[in-house]
Amino acid sequence: MTNQTGSMNLLVIGATGGVGLQVVRQALAKGHQVTALSRSALSLPLQHPGLRKVAGSFHDADLLQTVIPGHDAVIITASLGIFELKKQPDFYTRGTELVIRAMQQHGVPRLVILSNLAAGDGHALLNPLERLFTYLFIREATADHTRQEQLARDSGLQWTVARPTRLTNGPARGRYRAVSGQKVPASISRADVADFLLESATTGRWLNRTLNLGG
């Protein structure tokens, strides 16, 4: 679905995770310049003249002040495992607050965030089993995603929030649904989520919207 609009300079935070790595691959394939930021960025299994690897955390304010200038958009796909997130209930907001501050200071206009389907008003769309899973396993992460989304809305930046359903490792199909406030198919491939994030960062189609993704 991505609509190419010319080469852009993109920063992908959480670039070695499942979705983040897909974003990096697809962005490079479309001719964009990519900075890949994660703690394990140097082990990223990619070599490309348009790729810059930066090892570090989006909780490092000094690093962000160095890395963020010069980019056209920032895509946050950073995540932790379920049990690690329980120990760091502000993981998303703490990093996103620092990212937004650096973007504002250095004139980087566009922010794209990978959230989850249960965040914010998305909780009302969950079935009983999904609500139980959210409560038992990811309620801290979901609450933090909700706060993270609000940071984006209040930032004054051009923002997009993606709330995917269950992530799979299947190939990109290009037939997923992206809608606000409505139910979507129960799963989506990481490759299709990456396609949406990249489209959000490089076109004006989804500006200032929160979208549920499925299919």
Question: Is the model's pLDDT at 5 over the cut of 60?
Answer: no
* pLDDT at site 6: 80
* pLDDT at site 57: 97
Question: Is the model's pLDDT at 75 over the cut of 50?
Answer: yes
Burial of 125 (0-12, 13-18, 19+ CB in 10 A): middle
CA atoms within 13 A on the CB side of 200: 30
How far is C-alpha 204 from the chain's CA centre? 17
Residue 113 lies in a domain: yes
Residue 4 lies in a domain: no
* pLDDT at site 86: 86
* pLDDT at site 4: 43
Residue 54 lies in a domain: yes
- 184-198, pLDDT tens digit by residue? 999 999 999 999 999
Average pLDDT over residues 69-83: 94
Average pLDDT over residues 196-202: 98
Q: Show Cβ contacts of residue 35 under 8 Å, excluding neighbours closer than 6 positions.
A: 9, 10, 11, 12, 52, 53, 54, 67, 71
* pLDDT at site 85: 85
Residue 3 lies in a domain: no
Reported as a pLDDT band with limits 50, 70 and 90, residue 141 is very high
Alpha helix stretches (DSSP H) within the chain: 18-29, 61-67, 82-87, 91-106, 128-133, 139-153, 190-202
Q: Are strands 110-114 and 158-164 parallel, antiparallel or unpaired?
A: parallel
* pLDDT at site 215: 95
Domain count along the chain: 1
- The share of the chain scoring above pLDDT 70, in percent, equals 98
What is the CATH number for 196?
A: 3.40.50.720
* pLDDT at site 2: 42
* pLDDT at site 1: 44
- Which value, in Å, is the radius of gyration of the alpha carbons in the chain? 16
Residue 23 lies in a domain: yes
Please give the residue range of the domain that contains residue 90.
9-214
User: Which pTM value belongs to this model?
Assistant: 0.95
The size of the chain, in residues, is 215
- The share of the chain scoring above pLDDT 90, in percent, equals 89
